[in-house]
């Protein structure tokens, strides 16, 4: 029910899954300063997770160009309308930028959660497995930039069980609209760490509070495409949680041996801290 005594704000996410998760930062901050906030998103597979945040209401739409036709109506109905920028500035973490556009404190941190009903951990799941469990995003395969994927997976499988999340590498978010991300979120939560490239699944894992190790070659590719530098200081989960030491960026184009060594150290550290 609409509370007419409160000002109304809309945050409109128009990008991919990761961009959409970034926009939740503005929605939460606007709510915290007194706005009744609605977050409009393109991806219904993300809505069951975002619905758990009671600070804002999540609505889905199908086409941004259609939504823009209703811009005059949105401007009349809401006291404040914040659109995801057509092109991010790459001058600060996306969460900071969207908060700044909304007139809020540009804090980079954000959070996601599952409800008790959505978590499917049974009592048997609570026993710590003898082997590590690594959750890996399937989009690793399309952002390897020359890395030998099978060699890497074989090396990891020697000391850890592998759980996969996300769509097949030949697909994108449009192919997953009919599949909720809740199952992937559960898989991530029950693992020891998340592993993948910078992208939507990394945003999901980091927002759920999971320790993450991520490849950075795609960040270099984004630098080339956008003509910017030093995006390793902006993109990637460690930049969204600067006060936490659970997100680790792998050196660009490091060997599989180096990557595996870093992953082992992170796994050991996570087990000691838990």
Check residue 48 and give its pLDDT: 97
Residue with tokens 């609209």, as numbered in its chain: 177
Check residue 4 and give its pLDDT: 53
C-alpha radius of gyration, the chain, whole number: 19
Compute the C-alpha angle 28/34/39, nearest 5°: 40
46 contacts: CB under 8 Å, gap ≥ 6: 17, 20, 21, 181
Task: Domain ranges for the chain, please list them.
Answer: 8-101, 124-273
Q: Do domains 8-101 and 124-273 have the same CATH topology?
A: yes
Report the CATH fold assignment for 8-101: Rossmann fold (3.40.50)
Q: Which helix (H) or strand (E) holds 56?
A: strand 56-60
Note whether 10 and 65 are within 8 A (CB): no
Check residue 5 and give its pLDDT: 65
Q: Residues in the chain with pLDDT < 50?
A: 1-2, 122-124
Cα–Cα dist 265/260, whole Å = 9
34 contacts: CB under 8 Å, gap ≥ 6: 6, 7
Check residue 121 and give its pLDDT: 56
Check residue 128 and give its pLDDT: 63
Tokens of 196: 């993948």
Cα–Cα dist 37/27, whole Å = 6
Check residue 274 and give its pLDDT: 63
Distances (CA, A) of 20 to 54, 85, 87, 237: 17, 11, 13, 15
What helix, strand, coil percent values describe the chain, rounded to 5? Answer: 40, 15, 40
Check residue 188 and give its pLDDT: 97
CATH of domain 124-273: 3.40.50.2300
Check residue 147 and give its pLDDT: 92
71 contacts: CB under 8 Å, gap ≥ 6: 81
């Amino acid at each position: 029910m609409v509370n007419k005594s409160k000002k109304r704000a809309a945050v409109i996410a128009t990008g991919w899954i990761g961009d959409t998760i970034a926009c939740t930062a503005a929605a939460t901050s606007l709510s915290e300063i007194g706005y009744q906030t609605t977050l409009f998103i393109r991806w219904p597979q993300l809505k069951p997770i975002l619905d758990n945040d009671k600070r804002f209401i999540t609505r889905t739409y199908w086409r941004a160009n259609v939504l823009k036709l209703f811009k005059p109506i949105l401007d009349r109905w809401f006291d404040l309308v914040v659109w995801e920028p057509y092109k991010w500035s790459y001058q600060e973490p996306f969460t900071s930028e969207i908060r700044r556009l909304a007139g809020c404190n540009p804090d980079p941190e954000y959070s996601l959660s599952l409800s008790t009903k959505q978590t499917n951990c049974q009592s048997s799941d609570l026993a710590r497995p003898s082997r590590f469990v690594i959750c890996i995003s399937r989009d690793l395969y399309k952002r390897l930039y020359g890395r030998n994927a099978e060699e890497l997976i074989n090396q990891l499988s020697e000391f850890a069980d592998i759980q996969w999340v996300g769509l097949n590498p030949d697909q994108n978010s449009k192919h997953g609209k009919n599949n909720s991300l809740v199952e992937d979120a559960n898989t991530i939560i029950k693992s020891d760490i998340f592993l993948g490239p910078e992208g939507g699944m990394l945003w999901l894992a980091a927002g759920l509070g999971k320790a993450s190790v991520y490849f950075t070659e795609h960040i270099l590719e984004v630098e080339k495409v956008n003509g910017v530098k030093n995006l390793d200081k902006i993109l990637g989960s460690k930049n969204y949680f600067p006060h936490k030491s659970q997100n680790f960026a792998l050196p660009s184009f490091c060997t599989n041996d180096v990557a595996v060594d870093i992953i082992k150290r992170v796994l050991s550290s996570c087990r000691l801290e838990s």
